[in-house]
């Protein structure tokens, strides 16, 4: 399987003056008459974690990601296409999608017409992580072209939400030590769903470790009875939110929503905006990830629709580098909660990502995504 590839899509007709088309409409416009081609490259990179990352469905020591670079008229933009095997979109599917983009010329001749590009990507079945990497790279390109940070390009504020820090699933003492090592101001996402009857003890140990604000995430491992049995302990320990308590599609979802006094936020069973009407019947909010829904533009659409339906919004991430986290950071002004610590779990991050300031992933004020490779991008 190739580790890198290059494609050049040559212009076949004059390009008319246009502006990048995003939602909401950004303040960026320029003539494109002199542009001759689009250059698309990607490279595969393995990433080691500082410590094993353990959740109900997996124990992870390392991950593989894909970096995407789009060049246009002497300017380049970067994005991350992190495979998500749990969604059926593994590395092979991501690379196949990028190869399709190159072979079919799906970026077209106008890299700033993102709605049309997304329509073409969806029509050819390009994997969501590949779409996300391309989308981020095109946003980065547009911001660099206009010398504007992406959050300003989107007419958003510079969000200042504190990001949750993750406490991996383990025995109660190990989880308590993880929590003790976190700054006291950091909200914690506590991974539960051990299937051994110890989740209550795990939560008690983490609670005793400090005054952190707590969210718990079972990654779909609980049954309805387990969830209901744990609810009193969750409230007693000051938990403010429960993420994906039941497996995606569990018919007990609406029943739990009706009986749970804590907000239930859905992750694995809510990929994009099309899932939101059903999500409203099963939870109180959704975890929006640009790598899951297909990029910044789909995330904006998803957040807008979630608000229309009265749903809360968490902005989340996968285990990814500062490149992927740096893209998501530009949307934090739109969220109720943020879980953007994926790059902090890596042994070495090849990207200089967003500013990490007292628990906040702040988008940089530099043009585009504001991120850059530490050495060579590949």
Q: Is 147 a catalytic residue?
A: no
pLDDT of residue 13: 25
Question: What CATH number is given for 4-153 in this structure?
Answer: 3.30.390.10
pLDDT of residue 22: 42
Contact 365, 149 (CB under 8 A): yes
Active-site choice (50, 147, 191, 292):
191
Residue 199 annotated in ligand binding: no
pLDDT of residue 109: 78
pLDDT of residue 18: 27
Residue 88 backbone class (left: φ over 0; alpha: ψ -120 to 50; beta: rest): left
Domain 165-373 -> CATH class: alpha beta
Measured in residues, the chain has a length of 378
CA distance 163 to 341: 7
Q: What is the DSSP letter of 375?
A: S
Domain locations in the chain as residue ranges: 4-153, 165-373
CA distance 77 to 185: 34
Q: Is 191 a catalytic residue?
A: yes
* pTM of the complete model: 0.90
Active-site choice (50, 147, 289, 292):
289
Residue 113 annotated in ligand binding: no
User: Whose structure tokens read 């992750």?
Assistant: 267
Residue 171 annotated in ligand binding: no
pLDDT of residue 37: 65
Contact 40, 34 (CB under 8 A): no
Averaged pLDDT, groups of 10, the chain, 378 residues long:
39 28 35 55 97 95 97 94 95 97 88 92 97 98 97 95 98 98 97 97 98 98 98 96 97 97 96 96 98 98 98 98 98 98 98 95 97 82
């Amino acid at each position: 399987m190739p580790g890198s590839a290059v494609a050049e899509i040559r212009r076949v007709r004059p390009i008319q003056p246009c502006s990048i088309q995003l939602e909401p409409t950004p303040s960026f416009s320029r003539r494109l008459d002199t542009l001759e081609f689009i250059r698309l490259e990607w490279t595969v990179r393995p990433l080691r974690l500082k410590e094993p990352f353990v959740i109900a469905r997996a124990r992870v020591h390392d991950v593989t990601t894909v970096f995407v670079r789009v060049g246009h008229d002497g300017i380049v933009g970067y994005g991350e296409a992190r495979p998500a095997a749990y969604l059926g979109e593994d590395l092979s599917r991501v690379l196949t999608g990028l190869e399709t983009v190159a072979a079919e010329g799906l970026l077209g001749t106008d890299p700033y017409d993102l709605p049309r590009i997304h329509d073409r990507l969806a029509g050819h079945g390009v994997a969501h992580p590949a779409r996300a990497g391309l989308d981020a790279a095109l946003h980065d390109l547009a911001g660099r072209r206009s010398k504007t940070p992406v959050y300003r390009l989107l007419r958003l504020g510079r969000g200042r939400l504190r990001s949750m820090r993750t406490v991996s699933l383990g025995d109660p003492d190990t989880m308590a030590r993880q929590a003790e090592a976190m700054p006291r101001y950091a909200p914690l996402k506590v991974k539960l769903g051990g299937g051994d009857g110890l989740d209550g003890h795990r939560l008690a140990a983490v609670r005793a470790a400090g005054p952190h604000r707590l969210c718990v995430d079972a990654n779909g491992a609980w049954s309805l009875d387990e969830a209901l049995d744990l609810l009193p302990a969750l409230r007693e320990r000051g938990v403010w939110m429960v993420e994906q308590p039941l497996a995606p599609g569990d018919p007990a979802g609406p029943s739990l929503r009706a009986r749970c006094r804590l907000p239930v936020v859905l992750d694995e069973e809510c990929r994009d905006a099309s899932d939101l009407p059903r999500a409203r019947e099963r939870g109180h909010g959704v975890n929006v990830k640009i790598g899951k829904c297909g990029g910044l533009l789909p995330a904006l659409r998803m957040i807008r629709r979630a608000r229309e339906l009265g749903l809360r919004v968490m902005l989340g991430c996968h285990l990814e580098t500062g490149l992927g986290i740096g893209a998501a950071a530009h949307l934090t002004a739109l969220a109720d909660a943020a879980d953007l610590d994926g790059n902090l779990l890596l042994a070495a991050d090849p990207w200089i990502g967003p500013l990490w300031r007292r628990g906040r992933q702040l988008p940089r004020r530099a043009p585009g995504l504001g991120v850059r490779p530490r050495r060579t991008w590949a």
